[in-house]
Amino acid sequence: MTKDKILAIVKTNLLDILEDVEEDAITSDKSMKDLGANSLDIVEVVSTSMRELKVKVPRAKLNDLKNIGELVDVLYEEVQAKADA
């Protein structure tokens, strides 16, 4: 699983959950709030992505994420840790 594939999963979920978001607008340097997500939307995107990837990111790691790229990074870490286990 590459970071690009994880970004694609997060993107798909963002496009499904948020109304009126263009695919091109979703980039790693943007936060979900920048795209119009409220806190419930953010939890839904993160939860759905975690379920799809079959990983659970500790909540403390999710609290300070600044943008979509950082979310992809923590998801990638968990995917790698699971693969190495």
Partner 1 sequence: MQRVGIEKIWVYPCSMSLDLGELAKARGLEETYPVNDLMMRSRGVSPCWEDPITTAVNAAKPMLSQEDIDSIELLIVGTESSPDQGKPISTFVHRFLGLPDNCRNFETKHACYGGTCAAMMAAHWVASGAAGDAKALVIATDQSRMHLGSPWEYVMGAIGVAMLISNKPDVLEYDLRDNAYWTKEVGDTFRPTSREEAGNTENSVYCYLEALEGAFAHYKQKHGGSVDLEQRFAKHIYHVPFAGMVKRAHRQLMRETRKMSRKEADAHFDEKVAGSLVYNSQCGGTYTASTFVALTGLLDQYKDLSVGDRISIFAYGSGSCAEFYSGLIGPNAYEAVARAAVQEKLDARYRLSVEEYEAVETERTSYIDMATYQPSREGLNDHYKRFYEGKGYLVLKGLEGHFRHYEWS
Category of 82 on φ-ψ map: left (φ > 0), alpha (ψ -120 to 50) or beta: alpha
Residue 51 contacts partner 1 per CB under 8 A: yes
Residue 54 contacts partner 1 per CB under 8 A: no
Stretch that binds partner 1, among 1-9, 26-34, 35-43, 66-74 (CB under 8 A): 35-43
| CB of 9 vs partner 1, minimal distance in Å | 13
DSSP 32: T
Residue 82 contacts partner 1 per CB under 8 A: no
- Residues 82, 6: contact at Cβ < 8 Å? no
